[in-house]
Amino acid sequence: MNRHEEELAEEEADKIAVEEATPLAPRLIYEVIRRDGEEELERPKSSLIWSGLAAGSLISFSLIAEAILRSELRGFQGRYLIENLGYSFGFLVVIMGKMQLFTENTITTVLPILANPTKFKFRRTATLWSIVLAANVVGALAAALFFSLTSALPDQVLAAALEISEHAMSFDPLVAFARAIPAGILVAAIVWMLPQAEKSGFLLIFTFTWLIAAGDFTHIIVGSVEMWMVLLSGEITPGHALTHFFLPVLAGNVFGGTAIFAALAWGQVKEELAPSGRATEDAG
């Protein structure tokens, strides 16, 4: 290799090193999420159903891990903040396992619409939301049935899970709606930051979902596991679950994830994008 070739190779290596060390620009983060959203809108319905069922059932480990910690830490002064660390477990399984979680879809499938709104995309998004939400809720029911009707959980852990679930069902509708907004924002924030957090994705998910629990915010899918647990115990009626929990929390999560976070994320990049919604090339 001659001197000129060595200099070119060194310049290329330096360029790669700089690119790897430089944080992604917001428009590039947007493009990653937009592409993910486009891919989700093209997935077969059967894939969405199975992925949604898996997410709804496995996110139950957020409740179970939290209940295990509560049952073991009774009487400990700092119990509340520690037991809420358990809330992150189900999210870690679902998000890192690339399963369909409804509250993630409030940003991933919305950004393609904001870039290029069409009737087709609205229909596909409505279909995807309906399928994923229904599958998540059915998966949550399956998990609640398993833990409620079998001896899979020790009695003290099951009792703690019911305590946590009853608290989640105790809010007035307006309070449940208000507390669902921060949860929707935080889940959307996780989705927005994950492309930048390649090596720290675990910590990102862990800390932000812990904040949802520590802040006593409400999440529609983890909350659906809690809702089914309380319904199966006979402590509330289906009408109460629907009007005091499910509908207000669903509305709050969607409002937080879509109307607030997705709209703000779109606002900061829309002037930097080509008309098609794709990231523009750097000038010069």
Q: What was the pLDDT predicted at 168? A: 95
CA end-to-end span of the chain, whole Å? 31
Taking the C-alpha atoms of residue 235 and residue 237, their distance in angstroms, rounded to an integer, is 7
- Mean pLDDT to the nearest integer, 7-13: 56
CA angle (119, 100, 82) in 5-degree steps: 135
148, pLDDT greater than 90: yes
Identify which has the larger pLDDT, 218 or 274: 218
Residue (of 165, 128, 161) closest to 245 by Cα position: 165
189, pLDDT greater than 60: yes
No. of H helices and E strands in the chain? 16, 0
pTM of the entire predicted model? 0.85
| pLDDT, averaged across the chain | 87
The topology (CATH level 3) of 43-272 is Glycerol uptake facilitator protein (1.20.1080)
pLDDT in tens, 11-34: 555 444 434 545 677 788 888 888
Q: Which of 6-10, 12-16, 98-102 has the lowest mean pLDDT?
A: 12-16
Split at pLDDT 50, 70, 90, the class of 9 is low
Question: And the tokens for 221?
Answer: 């899918």
pLDDT above 90 covers a percentage of the chain that reads 62
Q: Is the dihedral of CA 180, 186, 189, 191 positive or negative?
A: negative
For residues 63-73, one letter each, b for 16 or more C-beta atoms within 10 angstroms of the residue's C-beta and e for the rest, the string is bbbbbbbbbee
Taking the C-alpha atoms of residue 3 and residue 167, their distance in angstroms, rounded to an integer, is 71
Identify which has the larger pLDDT, 62 or 79: 62
Q: What was the pLDDT predicted at 61? A: 97
- Mean pLDDT to the nearest integer, 116-132: 89
